[in-house]
Structure 1
Amino acid sequence: MSTIAVIGGGPRGISVLERIAAQLEARSGTRPEGQVTVHVVDDTEPGAGRVWRTDQTRTLCMNTLADAVTLFTEPGSSVTAPVLEGPTMYEWAELLRGDTLPTDADPDGAKTALYRSHPAMVRGEFHSEIAGMKPESHPSRALYGEYLRWVFSVVLSRLPRQLEVKVHQARATAITPVTCPDGVVRDEITLTGQTSGDATGPGGTTVLADATVLAPGWTANEPDALEGFTATSVQMHPELTWVRPANPADQEVADLPAGEDVLVRGLGMGFFDLMAMATVDRGGRFIPDPSTRSGLTYHPSGREPRLVVASHHGYPYQPKPVLHALPSPAPVPRFRAALARLPEDAPADSVDFGAELWPSILRDAQAAYYSTLFGGTCPGHDADPERLAAVTSLIDDPAVDPWRLHELPELAALVPDPADRFNLVFYADPVAAYDRDAGDFTAWIADRLSEDLHEARLGTRSAVKAGLKVIGAVRKAAAVADEPGRFTLRSRRAEYAELRRVGQMVGSGPPAFRTAELLCLVDSGHVRFLGAHPTVVVDPEKPAFAMSSPTTGDEVVHARTLVDAWLHKPDVRTSADPLTRQLRLEGRLRPFALTDAAGGPVTSSPEVDLASGRLVHPDGSLDARVHLLGIPLLDFRADMTISPMPHTDPLMLQETDAAAVSALRIALG
């Protein structure tokens, strides 16, 4: 009997299992295979995983649209085994409601047939959400976990006869090569905290695996020096509370004191989650109110903290546009043409992103903005094809810097009102433009949030959103062009870093309703902003945390509680995950190293074989048995954080298919 261990029972782990099953099913008619046992190991909720576990607060929502996420392969996918057609999350909700899928979504009825052969059952608490779901809804993360668990159950119900699956709710804490009595070297995987499953061995709970696929998701790092100092300070002053960086659902938000100032570092998605849990989950209510600029009035419960917030750039992520439909692709013809000019076999450190790709991205962003502004749909602006043609000619002038197009006198002649010119520099760093008194900063941010919300509510009629959409949309294709490490080190640290940073701010922000809630909380006095580049120290006399920012004149705000509302990127060099740490210390993996004339630095990600996902050893050889997928490879592989989107041949499903092929080849010999 051959054995494969899949460590991580979230989306990637489920997909690996489905692809293994598909491979075995495809082979069964042509060649007999031996029996294969797959051990699926997850320490939280096999099928959903930690991030999408179904018992978390339903206040936390996905950043993805309901009809823009799937876990099924599709016809035309570049996978090696037959696809298993299944519904997107929204289509699954439709089928749960008893609706009929439209013909264009399910032309041959395969999705409906799959669902009818394995109907879903979800808890009653989700019924109202399912009933109200639209294609463009942002589902709760807990409901997405229910969808994932249903997919897992479908896979388990369709296993080929030669495949057995054993599920272990446990944590894999060690992986050790052992020579078995048959002379074959396998990996012995130690499981701790097991609450289900039946694998036992001498000295503890173990499983033996011919091949292992690691899909661990977001792994924690060991505290750095500053975090160690903060932890020591809290130990010395038990009056202080520090909520460490983590997945918001894992943070101790219940520890935040009601009615007190709480210092918060971070204005990305972790902050918006914290904000929701500190208000809605404490009984606060947002009531529609068209008389307010947010469109809401907040009815407090009296149990809320007052959030004093700062971050590196000091400004909240941009809200997503309100579209009432799935978004269309961003128009990026210049970027596509620039990509096509790159050599397919470009070696590492050979592509100057700043010279060869970045200008085309900026020109596409400018063109998208002005095409909308003068296209006849932008409020307050009539269609003006002649002026659009003149601006487009300026955009495409090779002598023009598209980053600073708004500063050109030639553009001012065509677009006289400065408010109508697309200022990319401002959107890249809004707080840098702040020039008022320190005491006005929160009011200034609130005014800007009101404008951001207005643009988001315009949807496709917003020229601003059209331009910013390009910056967010090109990140995947740019990452694929870089994989692995093709961009020069200089351009990676400059223009490519800027694309990733700005693209995150403008393309991975919250649903617009969260921005409306934030603006409402600012207006109600529950949130205020301190600025950019914050400094936090511990004042031992009070004792209290003390936070300040140069944006607001280094005004010091004291509070007993500090929340870090963000999540560390996994770092193989400092990983707190025992399995990752052991693999590194025992020389079974190496950090991916960027290369340039001087040798180049190592990154936070392990290096793997792109064709299979197998780990690369320090000497460049491939590990005989262990594969690594997903989030820990952020600096090495493209598109590692994005859930599979239908009709896109998702990279995640290509990755899991390749790992399944490799694991089976190793296990079956």
Structure 2
Amino acid sequence: MSTALPDRFDAVIVGGGPRGVAAVLRTAARVATSGAGPARLAVVDAMAVGPGATWMIDQPAQYLNNTQADATTVHPDDSTRMSGPAAPGPDLVDWARRVRAEGGHPAGEWVLTEASELTGATFPTRRLQGVYFRDQLDAAIATGAVEVTEVVGLAVDLEQLGEETVVVLRDGRRLAAPTVVLAQGMVQSQRSHDVTALVDFADRFALRYVEPGMPAERTYTGLPAGEPVLVRGLGANFFDVIGQLAAEWGGEFTLVDGDARGRLRYHPSGLEPQLVVGSRRGVPYRSKPDGGRSVRPFVPRWASAEWFDALTTRSDVDFRSEVWPVLAREFARVYLDALTEVAPDAVAGEWLPGLDVADTQDEVDAVLSGAVPDPRWAWTLDELHRPTHGEPIGEKGWSQLVRRLIADELGSMSDPWRHPRAAVNGAMGALRRSIGRLTRHGVFTGESLARDVLGWFDGDSLALASGPPAERVRLVLALIEAGVVELIGPELVIEADETAGLFRAASPITGRVVTSSVLLETRMSKGKIPQTSDPLLRALLDSGRARVHAVDGVQTHSMEATRAEICEDAHGGHNLVAADGTVDESVVVLGIPAASTQPGSAIGATPGVASPLLAGADVAAKQILVRARVGSVAQAT
């Protein structure tokens, strides 16, 4: 333990992204209402205070948010239940309007350019959103209600010093306070055995390997023209990377004449490699609709609010056998409803009675198979996990499936009110919020939570309902049709070919095998706390001062923190739980590191929508002021 005297504050917030910023804003709102002196806060981030790692201001302009601008704020409104005072502030669209009115921004001329082009339906760049977060932090500081010391450094441990907790940084600095808020956001995982082996293989054979991680912290550009390059990962990062690469290549995208769906054609520059891309599912995340287009509303038939309410009274629910079949019915129903409207000849017979009595996914899939004999529109729930039902189909069959994927994506983006796959995406977006509510209530058994909800449903819901912007998907589809991007197939296997000294990618479903000297991982190394690489969280877990949250003895992916009661008289909440079950009331854990006890906190705040992220920030702010050492602040609540 270091003997150096620490710098002292009323609170230390570890994490300078939106959760940390929100905690500062809520603290400032409470201090301003009370009329007490300023709260002295230290905000620590390894990358940058304000934007944090995800929203770095100096990252490539091609990296986009996957949420529309009008769905982004860091200020709570009446939709978010909290006990602290209201403190209205601009959402992202309001802020951009102010930037336009002022005619410039200190961060650079590009901020005015992007703000001038922003509408509510725009998918903003991540860097622009980072400037918004930074400006909101600066506005809170300007009120005088908080004094913020910004610390760029890596927190590695916590120590106890009397009644205070000390945050220890890697460079030896020590920051002490009565309250520490852990708001790291998207934490990364330690290298897996697979990744470690690939790093070693690349070093031995002088190959290029980009391992999983945050895209702003990796380099993907400078690929060899005309040569195969292997890519693993078809989620959100993939689309950002492709946008950056396409800008580097300098080819031209043009609208296809007469195509009402907005199809693009790519005209190569000659600098392009051949990107051979795969993943477990083998197909990319599904697109968001074109910004501003009306989306088919989802009205449940079986998964009603009353049905979900009844489940919240239980703690023994098995997701796979009790909940998923009901959701599957809804997905099948909305697909068939929409298909009946857009292509009535493709639907055969009466299918609703069959769904009414379907008790398993297999029974739902049987109804879908019987109702849609037309191969162009045939679809089953099993395809969410396995696009070919796990059956080998060869390169020709896969090529046909990819052509259908392109057609479905173009239709879904351009006509989200009518297209059947858009209807499924929309239903998933609505129902996943209700599943989060069930998780918050602790209704699932530990086995089902780990095996089903965390094991596969969360991933499927992200793939359908949290996909990339339409403009980026159109770009990728054009590159596929131009032959620059090839989807190799599902169940991707990456191996180190020691004989050839090359990376080897293969899909047992398509039979396609490709070797290359370059492998890019466009998947994130994120979020599972038992394998986290965050040194502070690792130290807490390894020492027993924190533990992984478990349900019925089955571990989740998150740290355990206490629940929070939204009441001004409750002076705890979201506090760290040690391996022996004791609660450290001086440490507040916000959001992603404790996501299993705070469902929904990983999602950014949206105006008019209840936000667990902002509600948690208010819980943290209340504790900061209750435990503040300065008497005038301590009486603020």
Distance in 2 (alpha carbons) for counterparts of 1:545 and 1:90: 45
Other-structure match for 1:25: 32
Distance in 2 (alpha carbons) for counterparts of 1:552 and 1:409: 25
Other-structure match for 1:529: 487
C-alpha distance 87-403 of structure 1, shift in aligned 2 (>3 A):
farther
CA contact (8 A) 1:331 1:364 kept: no
Other-structure match for 1:264: 231
Which of these residues, 256, 281, 295, is aligned with residue 248 of structure 2? 281
Secondary structure of 1:218's partner?
coil
Deviation at 1:421, TM superposition (A): 6.3
Distance in 2 (alpha carbons) for counterparts of 1:205 and 1:83: 35
Other-structure match for 1:196: none
- Letter paired with 2:583: L
Other-structure match for 2:320: 354
Distance in 1 (alpha carbons) for counterparts of 2:182 and 2:586: 11
Deviation at 1:623, TM superposition (A): 0.9
CA displacement, residues 630-666 of structure 1 (integer Å, 9 cap, x when unaligned)? 2222344311321101111211111111122123223
CA displacement, residues 330-358 of structure 1 (integer Å, 9 cap, x when unaligned)? 323532221111244x44xx122234432
Residue ranges of structure 1 left out of the alignment (5+ in a row): 99-115, 180-184, 194-203
Is 1:252 matched up with 2:208? no
Other-structure match for 2:275: 307
Distance in 2 (alpha carbons) for counterparts of 1:549 and 1:341: 44
Secondary structure of 1:474's partner?
helix
Other-structure match for 1:187: 165
CA displacement, residues 173-224 of structure 1 (integer Å, 9 cap, x when unaligned)? 3322123xxxxx312223356xxxxxxxxxx422211110011122222212
Distance in 2 (alpha carbons) for counterparts of 1:409 and 1:226: 39
C-alpha distance 24-191 of structure 1, shift in aligned 2 (>3 A):
same
C-alpha distance 170-327 of structure 1, shift in aligned 2 (>3 A):
farther
Deviation at 1:459, TM superposition (A): 1.6
Distance in 1 (alpha carbons) for counterparts of 2:603 and 2:294: 16
Is 1:576 matched up with 2:546? no
Other-structure match for 2:52: 49
Other-structure match for 2:127: 142
Other-structure match for 1:445: 402
C-alpha distance 88-231 of structure 1, shift in aligned 2 (>3 A):
same
- Letter paired with 1:296: L
Deviation at 1:521, TM superposition (A): 0.9
Distance in 2 (alpha carbons) for counterparts of 1:261 and 1:17: 48
- Letter paired with 2:169: L
Distance in 1 (alpha carbons) for counterparts of 2:10 and 2:574: 18
Residue ranges of structure 2 left out of the alignment (5+ in a row): 1-7, 565-572
Which of these residues, 153, 156, 164, is aligned with residue 173 of structure 1? 156
Other-structure match for 1:556: 513
Other-structure match for 2:306: 337
Other-structure match for 1:542: 500
Aligned residues: 611
Q: Map residues 508-519 of structure 1 onto 2, 5 A cutoff.
A: 508-519=466-477
C-alpha distance 284-484 of structure 1, shift in aligned 2 (>3 A):
farther
Identity within the alignment, %: 28
Other-structure match for 1:662: 623
Distance in 2 (alpha carbons) for counterparts of 1:157 and 1:534: 52
CA contact (8 A) 1:310 1:531 kept: yes
Secondary structure of 1:286's partner?
strand
Is 1:365 matched up with 2:343? no
Q: TM-score, normalised by structure 1?
A: 0.84
Distance in 2 (alpha carbons) for counterparts of 1:79 and 1:502: 31
Distance in 2 (alpha carbons) for counterparts of 1:371 and 1:541: 54
Distance in 2 (alpha carbons) for counterparts of 1:490 and 1:646: 35
Distance in 2 (alpha carbons) for counterparts of 1:299 and 1:242: 28
Q: Map residues 111-260 of structure 1 onto 2, 5 A cutoff.
A: 123-160=108-145, 163-179=146-162, 185-192=163-170, 204-238=172-206, 240-254=207-221, 256-260=223-227
Deviation at 1:71, TM superposition (A): 0.8
CA contact (8 A) 1:338 1:360 kept: no
Secondary structure of 1:431's partner?
coil
CA contact (8 A) 2:312 2:443 kept: no
Other-structure match for 1:80: 83
Secondary structure of 1:408's partner?
helix
CA displacement, residues 579-600 of structure 1 (integer Å, 9 cap, x when unaligned)? 11221222210011121xxxx3
C-alpha distance 78-159 of structure 1, shift in aligned 2 (>3 A):
farther
Q: Which has the higher contact order (CA 8 A, sep 6+)?
A: 2
CA contact (8 A) 2:213 2:526 kept: no
Distance in 1 (alpha carbons) for counterparts of 2:436 and 2:368: 35
Distance in 1 (alpha carbons) for counterparts of 2:317 and 2:611: 25
Deviation at 1:91, TM superposition (A): 2.6
CA contact (8 A) 2:290 2:471 kept: no
Deviation at 1:567, TM superposition (A): 0.9
Secondary structure of 2:302's partner?
helix
Distance in 2 (alpha carbons) for counterparts of 1:365 and 1:546: 37
Deviation at 1:407, TM superposition (A): 2.8
C-alpha distance 408-649 of structure 1, shift in aligned 2 (>3 A):
closer
Is 1:505 matched up with 2:463? yes
Distance in 1 (alpha carbons) for counterparts of 2:477 and 2:245: 15
C-alpha distance 373-620 of structure 1, shift in aligned 2 (>3 A):
same
Deviation at 1:402, TM superposition (A): 6.2
Deviation at 1:63, TM superposition (A): 0.4
Is 1:626 matched up with 2:583? no
